[in-house]
Amino acid sequence: MGREVIVEGLTKSFGTQTVWQDVTLTLPPGEISVMLGPSGTGKTVFLKSIIGLLRPERGRVMVGGVDMVNSPERDIYEARKMFGLMFQDGALFGSMNLFDNIAFPLREHTRKKESQIRRIVMERMEMVGLLGAEGKLPGEISGGMRKRAGLARALVLDPQIILCDEPDSGLDPVRTSYISQLLIDLNAQIDATMLIVTHNLDIASTVPDNMGMLFRRRLVAFGPREVLLTSEEPVVRQFLSGRRTGPIGMAEEKDEATLVLERLGEAQSPPPVRPVAPQLEPSPGLPPRAAVPRRRERVLAMWDRLPQTAREALRTVPAATSAATPAAAAAPVPAPVPEETA
């Protein structure tokens, strides 16, 4: 099972510019979480702070008894082995073929024999649908294949926590849907804790167990997906509906006078409520997600504190993670991953 990640009072600045402050949340073990937010709100900085690549000025990130902010560097280095990080662009070495790119962490951080390395690499390549492409160079394949290769590399050290930085960037809607299903399937197979940073509303609405949002240097909310998907918070509604009306501007936050005028207009024409979509389920032949019953018990424990709209969504949406609905035994049959070319 994946590790719990406890974030308490985290504050990060660059010089006099505060990126975000006093961020507090818990990533439940083995569950999938998504962090949303407009461009420039520090979502990637948040990922790098969790894994200890950046040091926030205040707060702590507790993973397996290690504080990834304040512990000695040697302890952070060891704890970092619990993580797998999927970079936005794949971050592959251009001069290495896919096999050697994916094998790199094993050769760098373990003393495994080449026969063991080959077995692990081929298993991970099969998991992400890349068997047969091991001899190709990154420049010879598509962006979607590079992302899957980056994900395979993040998996070779058997991480308990996987961080994905915009796995959908640069992909068309079809390839994005395959990435969404792949993330669910991986969680079903390895039960790792996962945090995904994305702007993509399809991923955000169908993949995670939990959702959060960063805006105006703070964490707007974090909790079960149904809470954000039915939220009345103006910035959340604007982001999920993709409308210009709301606190998010083109390059910066809007001033109060502009917001007052927009609210008057919105009273005449309120934004449509985005329906809560069912969560994706593992592909046929894969085990059910072990996170489902754990998540159900956790949501039931907080039931009385949830907004009424979230409780209604949990009762009515046919999702595998619904607190009121047992985990589905059958899953829809996905189409095979299409062949991609550079």
pLDDT tens across 63-95, in order? 999 999 999 999 999 999 999 999 877 678 989
Query: Lowest-confidence range among 7-16, 124-133, 328-337?
Result: 328-337
Predicted pLDDT at 143? 84
Q: Is the pLDDT of residue 140 over 50?
A: yes
Topology annotation, domain 5-225 = Rossmann fold (3.40.50)
Predicted pLDDT at 320? 44
Say what percent of the chain tops pLDDT 90.
65
Beta strands across the sheet bearing 83-86: 83-86, 161-165, 193-197, 32-36, 210-215, 218-224
Q: How many CB atoms are closer than 10 A to CB 92?
A: 23
pLDDT digits (tens, 9 = 90+) for 156-207: 999 999 999 999 888 888 889 999 999 999 999 999 999 999 988 889 999 9
Average pLDDT estimate for 53-72:
95
Say what percent of the chain tops pLDDT 70.
85
* Residue 62: both structure tokens together: 């507790």
Q: Is the pLDDT of residue 61 over 60?
A: yes
From CA 127, how far away is CA 189, in angstroms rounded?
9
Predicted pLDDT at 87? 84
Q: Is the pLDDT of residue 255 over 60?
A: no
pTM of the model: 0.85
Calculate the average pLDDT of the chain.
Answer: 86
From CA 81, how far away is CA 52, in angstroms rounded?
11
Predicted pLDDT at 272? 59
Q: Is the pLDDT of residue 321 over 50?
A: no
Average pLDDT estimate for 104-117:
93
| Residue 87 DSSP SS3 | coil
Predicted pLDDT at 326? 39
From CA 173, how far away is CA 177, in angstroms rounded?
6
Average pLDDT estimate for 293-300:
95
Q: Half-sphere exposure of residue 34, counting CA atoms within 13 Å on the CB side? A: 28
* Closest residue by Cα to residue 176 from 188, 187, 191, 164: 164
Q: Any idea where the domains of the chain sit in the sequence? A: 5-225, 234-268
Q: Is the pLDDT of residue 40 over 50?
A: yes
- Pairwise pLDDT comparison (318 vs 188), residue with the higher score: 188
- Pairwise pLDDT comparison (342 vs 167), residue with the higher score: 167
